[in-house]
């Protein structure tokens, strides 16, 4: 059955594409991009090369199921056949631009004109090739929408990568628990040297690699002022007492991301960081309590913001206090729908981060983040890990 | 000076953009994309989020230097200012699409109409926004061309990541040297268990992580039939005597890639794999000997192909023998210009892989790959590592 999960292969439900084709009276859905295009990854499950290839779902007269094709580079033929859950891998017209190859696949499916639906970010040249071939190109959010609801097989992938991400956090917490304070130099030391954010990051990334996922450039480690910088991936010395924020979001072999954040302090003095931690803990609790199918997504954010405001933190600034949204969807993109600032109701199968935080460039940053799947009557964690401001050895 | 290297910051030479603006009588160059867009990474040095942002180089009347701006997401403001070597980080018009923000930056630079040059793969919606704002959008290869010639600072980054890649290969070779043969089970064993391509890959990726680079999903490890699959990243048991092909191409913190391939066999019997190895070794030598500024790029490929043909391997098939080109440019993309199938002369500062290989799905695959920078009178390795079919412990 086209699109279904195989023994080793992740399937894709092409039903939403069929619905969009019928709804818009279109002849096909076309996506073009390279290995870094997440719509294409979702539609094809093919982790192809760093040059453009194409996916085509062509409407079939008298059938509800479109005919799905992957126009793959010839050198990746075998891999494409192994990974693509759709109907056909095409390697004809090598050397032609992906947009031209997509038009040829549509023509072979019996469509030489009509409306073609494309994701908004399709490369301009591909859109122009389709127009030149006689199709009317119009954008669709059907792919982005389809991605928002996860299948059991996708949840399985998300759980696996989240487990690896948590192992990374565990390693970092253990390193911080083992670390000592050099009060004279105002530095945290570990294993014979000064502990920097980059040293700690490499400890995390080694664990990710050992568990078969990759850091994807997303292992955020900040300390003090750089913990207030939401996505710090640079080198900074870790000072005693200041907040150390770790946001670990690796990508697994099927393209799904994990995402977990914990914040620690080595020898905290009980000032700002303690107040911030308590506030974020309470906000996390309030936000999680709001998560359930049917609840407007923005409610989750509002609950977290109300709790942080009640604890005396600003929620209206870009620089101090709660400066971001409470979370985002996670899938083959690290950030995807649903948005927790939108009023649309959450649906069972949505996978969300819940990640309240407060920041002050003069003090540091505190964020706690977990990944959950929305259920009819609440949610389920895709991985659990304890939290405390003072790091403990966890083995 | 705009565009120059800073203390910690990599610069970008905007001279080729200035030349393209003058040459095409254009008012600006615009690039739009997310963190996965390599043109944007090169132009901005900003490793931004996974949603679109924009780069704008606006022509300045009476000056040869364009005014360069990065339209960044507000949440990444600090990081953008740290990383962008151009003139201005703009955080106005948050919430507007990147194409709209680019048009606003052009208007502020005094241009409300005229020709705008864009890289070919610009997202379709961004091109349409620019056209709607009154500009004529036309594609340029100026960015791709500029990327082909590396500065000393870029070569420094490439050397560093290539060194880490080589450490990964060294680890794999050591594991293979330590491995033992279980003749009854027809398996290679290491450290108490069967050695699979995935176990070996994780050993490599741990070393990459420990040295501050990431595997980027590009750590190819194939054995036997899967070594004949050019980009195998799956799990396969390693059998005694069969070729184990490792192609390691991590990405460094500034976005530059390394790329090195070695092939080994545990307890080879001196058949196909030995013949293939000798042929590839000779082809590597012949190809490297041809590399120099002024030499048509395709000559390098032809020299390798001639040597492999002389050793009795096919060079005309997609499946058996020498099935690919001898190499490609490497930079912020793993595959970029110059192409070794083109007749254009190599230039000093081009960074190339030289990677002849032969494959036979019934036997295995052998490839040897090194990374070199083209010089006026030859080339220089960006990292050196010995090679032998039988693995040795290298420490």
- ipTM, interface predicted TM-score of the complex: 0.94
For tokens 């980054």, what's the residue? B157
- Per-residue pLDDT of A118-129, as tens digits, reads 999 999 999 999
Quick one: residue A164, left, alpha or beta (phi over 0 = left, psi -120 to 50 = alpha)? alpha
Residues 199..218 of A with a Cβ closer than 8 Å to B: which?
202, 205-206, 208-212, 214-217
> Which tokens in the block code for residue B163?
């060194």
Quick check: A318 and B75 CB within 8 A? yes
Distance CA A163, CA A383 (A): 6
> Which tokens in the block code for residue B148?
């082909």
Query: Residue A374: enclosing H or E segment and its boundaries?
Result: strand A370-375
Quick check: A206 and B202 CB within 8 A? no
What is the CATH number assigned to the segment(s) B15-147?
3.40.350.10
pLDDT band for position A5 (cuts 50, 70, 90): confident
B377–chain A nearest CA distance, Å? 31
Q: Is A317 on the interface with B (CB under 8 A)?
A: no
Q: Is A235 on the interface with B (CB under 8 A)?
A: no
- Per-residue pLDDT of A323-366, as tens digits, reads 999 999 999 999 999 999 999 999 999 999 999 999 999 999 99
Asked if A15-148 and A152-381 have one fold, the answer is no
Q: What is the DSSP pairing of strand A193-194 with strand B67-71?
A: unpaired
Check residue B1 and give its pLDDT: 46
Q: How far is CA A216 from CA A259, A360, B395, in A?
A: 12, 27, 28
Average pLDDT of chain A, as a whole number: 96
Check residue A116 and give its pLDDT: 98
Please give chain B's pLDDT, 395 residues, in tens: 457 787 678 999 999 999 999 999 999 999 999 999 999 999 999 999 999 999 999 999 999 999 999 999 988 888 999 999 999 999 999 889 999 999 999 999 999 999 999 999 999 999 999 999 999 999 999 999 999 999 999 999 999 999 999 999 999 999 999 999 999 999 999 999 999 999 999 999 999 999 999 999 999 999 999 999 988 999 999 999 999 999 999 999 999 999 999 999 999 998 999 999 999 999 999 999 999 999 999 999 999 999 999 999 999 998 899 999 999 999 999 999 999 999 999 999 999 999 999 999 999 999 999 999 999 999 999 999 999 999 999 87
Residues 46..75 of A with a Cβ closer than 8 Å to B: which?
47, 49-52, 74-75
Distance CA B42, CA B137 (A): 21
Quick check: B208 and A209 CB within 8 A? yes
A113–chain B nearest CA distance, Å? 20
- Measured between beta carbons, the chain A residues lying within 8 angstroms of B367 are none
> Which tokens in the block code for residue B43?
């132009």
Burial class (CB in 10 A: 0-12, 13-18, 19+), B153: middle
> Which tokens in the block code for residue A141?
């959010």
Helix, strand or coil, per DSSP, at residue A220 = strand
Check residue B116 and give its pLDDT: 98
Three-state helix/strand/coil letters over chain B: CCCCCCCCCCCCCCHHHHHHHHHHCCCEEEEEECCCCHHHHHHHCCCCCCCCEEEEEECCCCCCCCEEEEECCHHHHHHHHHHCCCCEEECCCCCCCHHHHHHHHHHHCCCCCEEEEECCCCEHHHHHHHHHCCEEEEECCHHHHHHCCCCHHHHHHHHHHHHHHHHHHHHHHHHHHHCEEECCCCEEEECCEECEHHHHHHHHHHHHHHCCCECCCCCEEEEHHHHCCCCCCCCCECCCCCEEEEEECCECCCCCECCEEEEEECCCCCCHHHHHHHHHHHHHHHHHHHCCCCCEHHHHHHHHHHHHHHCCCCCCCCCCECCCCCCEECCCCCCEEEECCCCCECCCCCEEEECCEEEECCCEEEECEEEEEEECCEEEECCCCCCCCCCCCCC
Check residue A2 and give its pLDDT: 55
> Is residue A254 scored above 70 in pLDDT?
yes
Per DSSP, the residues of A36-96 read T-HHHHHHH-----SS-EEEEEE--TT-SSPEEEEE--GGGHHHHHHH--SSEEE-TTTTS
The mean-pLDDT minimum among A111-115, A269-273, B176-180, B250-254 falls in A269-273
Section A49-74 average pLDDT: 95
Mutate to test the interface with A, among B31, B214, B234 (most CBs of A within 10 A): B214
Instruction: Write down the domain spans for chain A.
Output: 15-148, 152-381
> Is residue A395 scored above 60 in pLDDT?
yes
Q: Tell me, which fold does domain A15-148 have in CATH?
A: Creatine Amidinohydrolase; Chain A, domain 1 (3.40.350)
The rounded percent of chain A whose pLDDT value lies above 70 is 99
> Which tokens in the block code for residue B44?
């901005």
Q: Is A36 on the interface with B (CB under 8 A)?
A: yes
Q: Is B129 on the interface with A (CB under 8 A)?
A: no
Quick check: A217 and B47 CB within 8 A? yes
- β-pair partners for A67: A58
B346–chain A nearest CA distance, Å? 22
Quick check: B323 and A215 CB within 8 A? no
Check residue A74 and give its pLDDT: 85
Check residue A7 and give its pLDDT: 65
Quick check: A123 and B120 CB within 8 A? yes
- Per-residue pLDDT of A141-154, as tens digits, reads 999 999 999 999 99
Distance CA B3, CA B11 (A): 5
A51–chain B nearest CA distance, Å? 8
For tokens 């859109």, what's the residue? A127
- Measured between beta carbons, the chain A residues lying within 8 angstroms of B122 are 123-124
- Measured between beta carbons, the chain A residues lying within 8 angstroms of B124 are 118, 120-124, 126-127, 137, 139
Task: Identify the architecture of domain A152-381 in CATH.
Answer: Alpha-Beta Complex (3.90)
- Per-residue pLDDT of A177-187, as tens digits, reads 999 999 999 99
Burial class (CB in 10 A: 0-12, 13-18, 19+), A354: buried
Q: Is B335 on the interface with A (CB under 8 A)?
A: yes
B285–chain A nearest CA distance, Å? 25
Query: Sign of the CA dihedral A173, A178, A181, A187?
Result: negative
Check residue A1 and give its pLDDT: 46
Choose the closest CB to B125 out of A121, A198, A216: A121
Count A/B contacts: CB-CB distance under 8 Å. Answer: 120
Choose the closest CB to A79 out of B122, B137, B229: B229
> Is residue A291 scored above 80 in pLDDT?
yes
A65–chain B nearest CA distance, Å? 28
With beta carbons less than 8 A apart as the criterion, state whether A343 and A385 touch: no
């Amino acid at each position: 059955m086209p699109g279904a999960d195989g023994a080793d292969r992740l399937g894709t439900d092409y039903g939403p594409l069929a619905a969009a084709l019928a709804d818009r009276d279109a002849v096909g859905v076309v996506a073009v991009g390279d290995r870094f295009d997440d719509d294409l990854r979702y539609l094809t499950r093919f982790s192809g090369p760093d040059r453009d290839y194409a996916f085509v779902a062509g409407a079939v007269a008298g059938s509800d199921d479109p005919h799905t094709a992957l126009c793959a580079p010839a050198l990746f033929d075998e891999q494409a056949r192994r990974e693509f859950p759709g109907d056909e891998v095409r390697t004809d017209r090598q050397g032609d631009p992906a947009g031209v190859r997509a038009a040829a696949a549509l023509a072979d499916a019996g469509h030489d004109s009509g409306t073609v639906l494309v994701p908004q970010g399709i490369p301009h040249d591909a859109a122009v090739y389709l127009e030149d071939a006689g199709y009317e190109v119009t954008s669709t959010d059907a792919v982005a929408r389809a991605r928002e609801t996860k299948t059991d097989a996708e949840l399985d992938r998300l759980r696996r990568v989240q487990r690896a991400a948590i192992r990374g956090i565990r390693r970092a917490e253990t390193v911080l628990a083992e670390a000592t304070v050099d009060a004279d130099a105002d530095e945290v030391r570990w294993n014979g040297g000064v502990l920097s954010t980059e040293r700690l990051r490499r400890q995390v990334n080694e664990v990710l690699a050992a568990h078969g996922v990759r850091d994807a450039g997303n292992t955020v480690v900040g300390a003090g002022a750089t913990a207030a910088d939401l996505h710090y991936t640079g080198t900074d010395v870790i000072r005693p007492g200041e907040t150390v924020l770790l946001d670990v979001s690796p990508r697994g072999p099927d393209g799904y991301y994990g995402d977990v954040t914990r914040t620690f302090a080595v020898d905290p003095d009980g000032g700002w960081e303690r107040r911030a931690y308590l506030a974020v803990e309470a906000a996390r609790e309030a936000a999680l309590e709001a998560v359930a199918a049917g609840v407007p997504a923005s409610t989750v954010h509002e609950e977290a913001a109300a709790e942080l405001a009640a604890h005396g933190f600003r929620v209206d600034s870009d620089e101090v206090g709660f400066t971001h949204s409470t979370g985002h969807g996670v899938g083959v993109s690290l950030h995807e729908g649903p948005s927790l600032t939108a009023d649309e109701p959450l649906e069972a199968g949505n996978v969300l981060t819940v990640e309240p935080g407060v920041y002050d460039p003069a003090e540091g940053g505190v964020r706690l983040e977990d990944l959950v799947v929305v259920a009819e009557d609440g949610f389920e964690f895709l991985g659990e890990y304890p939290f405390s401001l003072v790091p403990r050895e966890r083995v």
